[in-house]
Amino acid sequence: MFFPKRKLITFLFLFCVVFLIFFFSSQPNVYSIRAAFSDLAKIPFLILTGFTHEIRAVAFFHRNYWQNLKLREETDALKAQLLTQEEHSSENERLRALLGLKSRSSFKTKAAFVIGKDFNSFRPYLILDKGASSAIKKYDPVLTPAGLVGKCLELGRYSSKIILINDPDLSVPSLNVRTREQGLVSGALDGRCKLRFLDADSDIKEGDLIVTSGLNMTYPVGIVIGKVRLVGIESSGLGKFAILEPAVRVSSVEECLIVVS
């Protein structure tokens, strides 16, 4: 047992001597061999280093992916919350304006909400959540703070169908605020309104404000209908007409007031 141990010690001693001579020798041949051995020894190290870098890159990508996903979810949640707040703010503003109109009006009104609409048919209309049970009657006018929307055409117990200001079958006695000239407004096929029965020498101009005249007692006086966008001569040559841009964008109406007769 002692002899093999002694041989092992001797072998290790000689190996260390050769190793030291090999790595610290300045002989050119030895230096070349040492350089080649060093380059060879670097290969496992480079492989291990590259593998470590790949692992770190994958871990970094994985961490960033989940962080970005979480940030995206938080951003979407904040956007949804902001949109909800903006919608509530817009609704509150509309309701305050409606309440202000109701308090300023000299006529009795009922607030109503739009629960249905159709703008694809030849005769677009709105459906409101108020009907005969709320004392609503046929032909009662409908308006918003911006102006006239139309009038009730059909009644149910708890709902009503509204014919709109831009419907060709609707006729509204009107007044030019600037000239005090009167006429009759009806809907046009392009979604605007047409003011008719104007004198040939009418002074009506683009930009004039047209309101209800109150002549037929259906519409209260002074409700805004729209502004003049175009003035023309009737085909008969006996008078003028005007194309109006309605004050109310009927497709965007969500709340309104019904004038109770």
**pLDDT tens-place string over residues 18-59:** 555 555 555 555 555 555 555 555 566 566 666 676 677 666
For residue 243, pLDDT over 90 is answered with: yes
- pLDDT of the residue at 189: 77
Structure tokens at 50: 């590259």
Its sign, for the CA torsion 24, 28, 33, 35, is positive
Q: pLDDT tens-digit profile of 75-129?
A: 777 777 766 666 666 666 766 666 666 666 677 889 999 999 988 777 889 999 9
Q: pLDDT tens-digit profile of 179-192?
A: 999 999 999 878 89
Instruction: Assess contact for 182 and 204: CB atoms under 8 A.
Output: no
* Whole-structure pTM value: 0.65
Mean pLDDT of all residues in 150-154? 95
The C-alpha atoms of residue 196 and residue 6 are separated, in whole angstroms, by 127
